[in-house]
Each structure stands twice: as structure tokens, then as C-alpha cells.
Structure 1
Amino acid sequence: MEILIFFIAHWYLSLLMQTFFLHRYAAHKMFTMSPAWEKIFYTLTWIFQGSSFLSPYAYGVMHRLHHAYADTENDPHSPSFSDSVMDMMWKTKNYYNKIVHKTDNIDPKFKKGVPNWTFMERLGDLWVSRIGWGVLYVMFYIHFATAWWMFLLLPVHFLMGPIHGVIINWYAHRYGYVNFKVDDTAKNLLPFDFLMMGESYHNNHHKYGGRANFGFRWHEFDPTYPFILILNKLKIIKLKPNNDLNYM
């Protein structure tokens, strides 16, 4: 039972930071927050993503490029220009590393306003940090696992962030249904997104890139949106006016 709870908690807490902080805040600026709260969410991203920490700065820049050049040769991660899932993930990793290490030649307009806390960016990318989190996961499993097959879940913990990314960047550009006509292959992967906290409504998001609520139809519940509304009500964040009409 402890292993199941830990796995589910890690899956959804890691995903929450990716969809809320990296995607909707760092990339799209759907809402604002104070510098202090930005550092708090930076730290929570490091804790919840752990060994698979994704740089909010690199994620934000790369995702903006994805929207600008979706399904073209300039898209950092497009199934249309990759031979397989692994090929796309490898290309994405190389693109990501160039941004993290500031060796890219990306137009500065894509970097404008993207959060960049140097200390946490460096800490999260250190191998000692990634391996340290991995060791903690292994120790937890050694203590609580009751069957050998449970250890097969460990690679998912190690690569949680990239796994979440590839589910959308590969599968939501190949499978699913379409609500809106867009200039790329983005689709809504799941009619009820119990798995990806709203991220699988990818066609909706590509049509309205600045809309904080990714769901449109009656069955398209976006679990992250109520979380955003609560934080807005508590004045931790501030949703931009007329959010449904905001575009990047």
C-alpha cells in the first residue's frame, strides 16, 4: 500500500509542478506571482520532480518554441520529424541541454520573462542531486516493497518529468480527437483527463495557448484549473484579466 501511495503521489505532484509552474506560468505567463512565491514553487518543483527535475527556464523557452514552430523542423519535439519515441526524446534532451547550458542561438524574444533562478537551476541539474533523489527512492522501496515486481516502478520515478512530457509531445500529436482546427497535429488525448491533470487536452491548448482552463466540452475537466482558482483567491497568484482571450 505504501508503494502505491508513494508512486501516485510522486506522479501527480511532479505533474502538478510541470503543468502549473513550468507550463502555465514559466512558458505562458497565464498568471503572475511575487518573486518570493516564484522561488517557493521553484523549490517545490525540485522536491516533487526530484531526480527528473526539469529547468523551468529551459522548459519555458522550449515550450514557446514548440508553439511557434509546432510540427515543423524547428519544433524541439515533433513526432512528424522523429523516427520513434526514443528518437524524439533524445532530440528533446539535446535541445534542452543547450538551453540549460546557454549554448543555444535561440531568438531572445522566446526567453523574455521566463523565470530563471540560477541557484535552483544549477542545483536541480547537478548529478549529485539527481542521484541523491534516486537513492532516496530506492531506499523507500527497499523498506516498503513487498514484492520484487514493485522495483520495476523505480525507472518511472527516475524519469518522471520526461515521461510526462513524452506522453503529450508524442501521443497527443498522434492519437485522440479534435475540437478545433489548428495548423498542427495536436489532439485531445483523453476525453476525461484523469491521468495528466488537463495536459492531454492538447488540441484545446494549441488553439487557445493562453487560456488557463484547458477544458472546453462538458466532460473535459481540467484538475489544475481549480487549483489555479484557489491560489488566485488566496492572492498567491494573480490570473491575468480576460484570461480566456490571452495568447502568448
Structure 2
Amino acid sequence: MIFILLFLIVHWYLSLFMQTFFHHRYASHRAFTMSRFWERFFYLTAYITQGSSYISPRVYAIMHRMHHAYTDTAMDPHSPANDRNIFVMMWHARQMTNNIYQAKVLIEQRFLKNLPQWRSLDVIAHSALSRLGWITIYVLIYFIFSSSAWLLLLLPIHILMVPIQGVIINWFAHKYGSINFKLKNTSTNLFKIDFLMMGEAYHNNHHKNPAQVNFGFKWFEMDATYFFIRLFNWTKIIRIPKH
């Protein structure tokens, strides 16, 4: 039981870190820069940690830029304002990511600037064989190490981890929580102190300053991802622009 719970926690935070560090702050907003070597390194790491629910950083960035440009309007690719429940919103977001990946929708040029891309890896990662392979690995780990049958109920979290992480912010952080800034959208700070989402839950702060590397604003709003970003900057893995 302990091993399974540790596996869930480690998988959650590694996947989440790659989403907020690489997909969100780097690919979407270019809050910092990195060399091509490190870009490929983190691209591959994102695939390994996100597994069956992997989404291309390029696709994520395009959709997220659209979200900022059209927040809470009919053109927002994921908004509680457009969908009657969480599951409908998740399905619509899934359709949009597939359409962007398969080039079935026309994307404005402003959303296509400075995007990371590794086409060959994305082809593999987005294949049914890859997703089924990761699901098989998760299932085997649970069958080998589970001490109780009820632990199998946790398997869907591994399989759908990125969509689950996304819906926590894209649904709940547009319906509940508090605000530091009055904006022309429904973004909120879901938690006062965000340990669950590594800073992503300071969503109102983020909509106020999208390119800001630190999502925390008030002194108690600790953004765990920002500490790693500072460490990576200090070790010269990335470069935070000087303003």
C-alpha cells in the first residue's frame, strides 16, 4: 500500500512539474530560455513523466495562448462558461488538442511564435501503442505491489493525470477561490497556499501577469515550481530574462 501511494504521489508531482515548468511557463509563455539540448531533455522527460496522458508541449502552448487571448468567451478552448459540467469541458479540450495536433484547425500566427517542437517524439507519444504501453506499465505496477483491491481505484488518476491536473485549474480555478486582482475574466486563486498544484492554483495572479515566472504574489503564496526555476537559473540550465 505504501509503495502504491508513494508511486501515485511521485507520478503526480513529476508530471505536474513538467506541465507547469516546461509546457506552461516555458513553451506557452517563454518566461525563461534554455538551450536546444535542455529543451530536448525536458521534452523527453515530459513524455516519460506524463506517460499515457502526455500532450505535446507545442499543442499545449498553442491552446494555452488561445485561452489567455479568449478567456471565458466562446473561443476559449476550455472554460466553465462554455460547458455544462467538468466532463464536457474535458472532452471539448481533448477534441481541441487533437485538432491542433492533427492540423485540422486554422491557428492564428500570433499563437505559433517560438514554440518548442520535436515531431518524431510527438508522433510516438501520441500513438495508441504508446498510450496503451504506459497504461500496461501502470496496471502491472498495481497488480504487483497492491496490497488491497481498492487501490486499483487509483489507476484512472495515472491514466488521465494531465487532464485531471488541467481540469483542477481550468474548471475550479475559474469558479471557486479568491482574487488578488480584478480582471475581465473569472480566474481565481484556488488555494491560499498551493501545495497540491505547485503554484498553478494561483491562477488569478497568473492571468494578471502571464509571463511572470513566479506565480505567487503575496508573501505567503509559495510557488514551489519557482524555487526549482531559480535553482535551474543558478546552475545555468535555464536563463531568466532580466527586466
What TM-score, normalized to structure 1?
0.96
Q: Corresponding residue for 1:185?
A: 186
> Aligned-pair distance for 1:168?
0.1
Match of 2:81, as an amino acid? S
1:140-171, CA deviations, whole angstroms, 9 ceiling, x for partnerless residues? 11111000110000000000001000000000
Taking the aligned partners of 2:104 and 2:75, their CA distance within structure 1 comes to 17
Q: Which amino acid aligns with 1:207?
A: K
Match of 2:174 in 1: 173
How much does 1:122 deviate? 0.9
- Greater shift after overlay, 58-67 or 87-96? 87-96
Alignment of 1:1-248 (within 5 A): 1-242=2-243
Aligned partners of 2:213 and 2:89: how far apart in 1? 27
Counterpart Cα distance in 2 of 1:203 and 1:64: 16
**What does the per-residue CA deviation read over 1:9-63, in whole Å, with 9 as the maximum and x for residues that have no partner?**
0000000000000000000000011111111001000100011101101100000
User: Structure 1: 5+ residue runs without aligned partners?
Assistant: 243-248
Q: 5+ unaligned residues in a row in structure 2: which ranges?
A: none
CA distance in 1, matches of 2:123, 2:109: 21
Q: Offset of 1:218 from its aligned partner?
A: 1.8
Q: Give 2:242's aligned amino acid.
A: P
Cα distance in structure 1, aligned partners of 2:88 and 2:142: 31
Task: Give me the identity figure in percent.
Answer: 51
Separation (CA, whole Å) in 2 of partners of 1:184 and 1:221: 23
Distance 2:168 2:130 in 1: 25
Cα distance in 2 between the residues matched to 1:89 and 1:154: 18
The CA deviation at 1:90 is 1.0
Q: Which runs of 4+ in 1 moved over 6 A?
A: none
Normalising by the residue count of structure 2, what TM-score does the alignment of the two structures yield? 0.98
Distance in 2 between residues matched to 1:104 and 1:113, nearest whole Å: 19
Tell me the number of residue pairs that the alignment of Structure 1 and Structure 2 aligns: 242
How many Å separate the matches in 2 of 1:191 and 1:94? 32
- Partner of 2:81, secondary structure, is helix
* 1:245 alignment counterpart: none
Question: Partners in 2 of 1:160 and 1:223 — Cα distance?
Answer: 19
1:140 corresponds to which letter in structure 2?
I
SS at match of 2:242: coil
